[in-house]
Amino acid sequence: MTSAPFDTQLAACAQRTEAFLIARLDGLTAAPRLTDAMRHGALGGGKRLRPFLVEASARLFGVEEREYLAAGAALEMVHCYSLVHDDLPDMDNDHLRRGKPTVWKAYDPALAILAGDALLTEAFRVLTDPQLIADSETRSELVAALAVGSGPDGMVAGQVLDIEGETKRLDEDDIFKMQALKTGALIRTGVEMGAILGRADVETRAALVLYGVHAGLAFQIADDILDVTASSHALGKTVGKDVEQNKSTIVSLRGVDGAREILEHAVEQGIRALNGFGQDAEILRILIRHFAEREH
Ligand code: GRG
């Protein structure tokens, strides 16, 4: 990793990811209104934290920019699809996302469903493109990792558990499980994709996955704390959605101070998982602290 400050590195990654997504979407001409809705859901906003996780992990192994950029953009397309679908009237019924109307408000719910579907499927097309990722085994392992992280053993399962939590009381274990799947799975997958691109050995990949699990936990607990402590109107985020819907979160069960303790523990465990990586992994250590300390 370069020694540029964290914010500069994250901004550079966001810019590269945006440019990649613009070019990729410009190449889709079969149904212009669909591509416009995909642009609305994927471009012009978003912190691009997940591509940065792929990049930071891949750079530990000297992976080329072309490869980690493609893998990070694919992961971001899946993340954007999840937000587009999550905002739908039959899910969270949100009107604003990233400071602008949600895709279903700007277009209509049917097109928002299809734009989400198209972002999801296009992500996998990116990962199978030999012009972007040279080695065929790497491509197929990336596809498998993203399918696990995003599908019925990952994010989609988490979303279902979250919806079930609206009608039944979740205990702490249920909440940890739901969050590890709904938000944590894609974060973990980002770090894992870097390890796959780097052809990391089994132990090295497992250490990075362990870091990713704790990074996902830190991200979600920080989000729950922000829901009750911060005002994020300016960002177009629905403030305290879980609070508003009376959903159980770690904060509602343990209080803000209790949640902060769990958050600090997750950060420590994540950093400990990187013990074997030395100075090269400093950016991942900064990143997990950034997750814990973020203000939006
Ligand atoms: C619809 C299958 C399906 C899944 C949806 C991730 C998800 C599951 C829903 C998103 C709802 C939500 C607000 C989850 C909490 C995690 C969170 C704050 C996600 C937003 O991620 P950021 O902060 O967003 O990285 P940006 O806009 O920066 O990309």
Which structural domains are found in the chain, ordered by start? Answer: 6-293 (1.10.600.10)
Q: pLDDT digits over 184-239, tens only?
A: 999 999 999 999 999 999 999 999 999 999 999 999 999 999 999 875 443 344 45
For CA atoms 189, 214, 200, 198, give the dihedral sign. positive
Q: How far apart are CA 189 and CA 237, in angstroms?
A: 24
Q: Which of 18, 96, 182, 251 to mutate to test the pocket of ligand 1 (most atoms within 8 A of CB)?
A: 182
Distance 273 CA to ligand 1 centre (A): 25
Distance 79 CA to ligand 1 centre (A): 7
pLDDT-derived band of residue 244, with 50, 70 and 90 as boundaries?
A: low
Cβ neighbours around 196 below 10 Å, total: 30
| Residue 296, pLDDT above cutoff 80 | no
* CB-based contact 219:184 (threshold 8 Å): yes
202: Cβ–Cβ under 8 A, 6 or more apart, which residues?
Answer: none
C-alpha torsion 42→117→176→282, nearest 10 = -40
Ligand 1 atom closest to the Cα of residue 98 is 27
Distance 136 CA to ligand 1 centre (A): 30
How high is the mean pLDDT of the chain? 94
Distance 211 CA to ligand 1 centre (A): 20
pLDDT above 70 covers a percentage of the chain that reads: 93
- Long-range CB pairs of 166-174, under 8 A, 24+ apart, other chains included: 166/245, 166/247, 169/248, 170/247, 170/248, 172/250, 172/253, 172/254, 174/248
Q: Ramachandran region of residue 46, left (φ > 0), alpha (ψ -120 to 50) or beta?
A: left
Q: pLDDT digits over 59-84, tens only?
A: 999 999 999 999 999 999 999 999 99
pLDDT-derived band of residue 2, with 50, 70 and 90 as boundaries?
A: low
Distance 278 CA to ligand 1 centre (A): 31
Confirm whether the ipTM is greater than 0.90.
Answer: yes
Nearest CA to ligand 1 atom 18: 223
Nearest CA to ligand 1 atom 29: 46
> What does the DSSP 8-state code read for residue 131?
T
> What does the DSSP 8-state code read for residue 237?
P
pLDDT at 235: 39
| Residue 43, pLDDT above cutoff 90 | yes
| Residue 52, pLDDT above cutoff 80 | yes
Cβ neighbours around 231 below 10 Å, total: 11
Ligand 1 atom closest to the Cα of residue 85 is 1
Q: Which of 83, 84, 239, 295 to mutate to test the pocket of ligand 1 (most atoms within 8 A of CB)?
A: 83
Q: Which of 78, 86, 247 to mutate to test the pocket of ligand 1 (most atoms within 8 A of CB)?
A: 86
Ligand 1 atom closest to the Cα of residue 91 is 1
Q: Residue 40: CA atoms inside 13 Å, Cβ hemisphere, count?
A: 25
Q: Which of 95, 155, 183 to mutate to test the pocket of ligand 1 (most atoms within 8 A of CB)?
A: 183
Length of the chain equals 296
pLDDT at 237: 47
Ligand 1 atom closest to the Cα of residue 237 is 13
pLDDT at 234: 35
Averaged pLDDT, 111-123: 98
Lookup: tokens for 142: 């990336």
Q: How far apart are CA 239 and CA 77, in angstroms?
A: 24
Ligand 1 atom closest to the Cα of residue 47 is 28
CB-defined site of ligand 1, < 6 Å: 46-47, 49, 79, 82-83, 85-86, 98, 155-156, 159, 182-183, 223
pLDDT-derived band of residue 240, with 50, 70 and 90 as boundaries?
A: low
Averaged pLDDT, 126-141: 98
- Per DSSP, helices labelled H in the chain are 6-26, 32-42, 49-58, 65-86, 103-106, 109-127, 136-150, 155-164, 172-179, 185-197, 202-229, 241-244, 250-273, 282-293
For residue 123, give the nearest of 151, 98, 155, 146 by alpha carbon: 146
Q: pLDDT digits over 143-187, tens only?
A: 999 999 999 999 999 999 999 998 988 999 999 999 999 999 999
Distance 28 CA to ligand 1 centre (A): 25
Q: Residue 120: CA atoms inside 13 Å, Cβ hemisphere, count?
A: 18
Distance 84 CA to ligand 1 centre (A): 9
**173: three-class secondary structure by DSSP:** helix
Lookup: tokens for 259: 């949640």
